[in-house]
Structure 1
Amino acid sequence: MDVVSSLWEQVSATSPPLPLWLLVLTAALAAALVLSPTLWQRARHSVTIAHEGAHGLAALVTGRRLAGIRLHSDTSGVTVSAGRPTGPGMVLTAAAGYTGPALFGLGAAALLAAGFAIGLLWALLLLLALLLVQIRNWYGLWSVLVTGTLVFAATWWLPAVGQSAFAAGVTWFLLLAAPKTVLELQAKRRSGTARDSDADQLARLTGLPGIVWVAVFLLVDGGALLLGGWWLLRDTAPL
């Protein structure tokens, strides 16, 4: 019980706000990961984890049975769930992929704004552990384990300020990366290489054109970026 109590005290501990310069630095580093073609090729795997995890979470919440998740080396992924092939549950599951990373980022921004940077890192570890048991291929297993190891290292070894800065960097990355993946999706749709994308699946499910769903994705992701960014910058510490 002492161990559990000690762990809970650590997870629920609040951290002081980061100074503005450090928060801006974490945003700049996250933007570099998103905007640099070389860095993006590697960093995008993390977005795929969030994307497929969001599909899986939406499937479970809507009562579908999650059959497994696969992550591939080309940054693509597949989430398989069983249930009705049409209806609200299937629509929400399909729509969760391109909005999930932004909504995860928005939730992370809310936790950071409330001072729960350490709690956020432990929440990420828990979500990755839950995702791990649903992975059905070796590359996916490797990808989630590497990501989890990085988050665990930050949680276990960084000082308090370092943990807050790392948590802020992850949050900025999710918020900034989500809209870029939607733009990439539309570029592939225009070139005819994404005929079975989430947007096109939603078009078949709802009758609304795929471009409408792309716009919905961008609206959600852009709104999350603006709101999450405001939450992060609202209560920064003095320089």
Structure 2
Amino acid sequence: MDELVREWTAQLLDSGNVAALIAGLISLVLVVNRATWLPLRNVVTIAHEGGHAVIALLSGRKLNGIRLHSDTSGLTVSTGKATGPGMVFTLFAGYPAVSLLGLGGAWLVTADLAHVMLWGCLVLLAAMLLAIRNAYGVLSILLTGGAVFAVVWFATPAWQALCSALLSWFLLIGGLRPIGELSRKRSRGRAANSDADQLARLTRTPPGLWLTTWYLLGLVALVLGGTWLLLMPQV
């Protein structure tokens, strides 16, 4: 029995597009299923808040800290000019950051650079840890980093590629769900200070414009990244 399992596993890993398809289906289930989505949403929140933080620094703002909460929400605080392009780009960056990270991961996997993706994740998580300002945030970063490190340290290159594909799919698919959740909250009047509403006040545009833009960007990233993953010859 063990020999059959090993043989099946080897055949699966040798067939990159089949393995990528299975990884995509698993990621879809993880995102759609509420029981798995609630804890794993922390990964999406980490990427989201990291996007805010990176753009805040690139736009010349001072990063004061990041907080991650047990309800999977987050907050990135930066100081600088309260209006202008820097603030707009900082507010805008959170939702697209998740999809763009998934897209970048998909490209690295298809370029046979899964190990670069994994080490890159560890570097980014370590840098983000320095900016975390609450205990739950530290725990979230350490658990996520520990899982990635375990793959880097113990998994074979083929399994590293498969896990990287799974993470890429999860970010590509999971990057869309919070946008829908935000839209529903706004329809019930429960998200007056969301990124979309703050952008609307800064730019005097409808909040729905930002939600639509984020969703379209996420869909483009999903289609492009998914195509790359499904067409790769070997994982």
Aligned 1:14-163 pairs, distance under 5 A: 19-163=16-160
Task: Output the CA distance in 2 between the equivalents of 1:237 and 1:146.
Answer: 29
1:3-14 mapped onto 2 (5 Å cutoff): none
Describe the SS at the equivalent of 1:102.
Answer: helix
Over 3 Å counting, the alpha-carbon distance change for 1:89 and 1:164 in structure 2 is: same
Tell me: CA distance 1:17–1:118, structure 2 relative to 1, closer, same or farther (3 Å).
farther
- Listed as ranges, the gaps of 5+ residues in structure 1 are 1-15
Where 2:176 maps in the other structure, the secondary structure is helix
Map 1:160-239 → 2, pairs under 5 A: 160-237=157-234
Q: Distance between the aligned counterparts of 2:137 and 2:233, measured in 1?
A: 37
In the aligned structure 2, how far is the partner of 1:224 from the partner of 1:230?
A: 10
**Matched residue count:** 223
Q: CA deviation at 1:64?
A: 0.8
* Aligned partners of 1:176 and 1:225 also within 8 Å: yes
Would you say the 8 A contact 2:18–2:230 is kept in 1?
A: no
Offset, 1:18: 5.4
CA–CA separation in structure 2 for the residues paired with 1:165 and 1:95: 31
User: Structure 2 counterpart of 1:165, which letter?
Assistant: L
> Contact 2:19/2:162 (CA < 8 Å) preserved in 1?
yes
- Matched residue type, 2:83: T
CA distance in 1, matches of 2:95, 2:105: 17
SS at match of 1:194: coil
Return the alpha-carbon distance in structure 1 between the equivalents of residues 34 and 211 of structure 2: 22
Q: Distance in 1 between matches of 2:172 and 2:55?
A: 19
Contact 1:18 / 1:165 at 8 angstroms: preserved in 2?
A: no
Contact 2:42-2:140 within 8 A present in 1 as well: yes
RMSD of the TM alignment (CA)?
A: 1.3
Secondary structure at the aligned position of 1:59 is classed as: helix
Q: Render the CA deviation track for 1:79-113: whole Å, top value 9, x for unaligned.
A: 00011001101000000111110011111111112
Query: Following TM superposition, by how much is the alpha carbon of 1:234 offset from its aligned partner in structure 2, in angstroms?
Result: 2.3
Deviation at 1:236, TM superposition (A): 2.5
Counterpart of 1:106, as a letter, is L
Distance 1:143 1:94 in 2: 22
Does the CA-based 8 Å contact 2:31-2:173 persist in structure 1?
Answer: yes
Residue identity matched to 2:58: V
Partners of 1:186 and 1:176 lie apart in 2 by 17
Which amino acid in structure 1 is aligned with residue 130 of structure 2? V
Cα distance 1:136–1:27, how it changes in 2: closer, same or farther (>3 A)?
same
TM-score (norm 2): 0.92
How far apart are the structure 2 equivalents of 1:205 and 1:100?
20
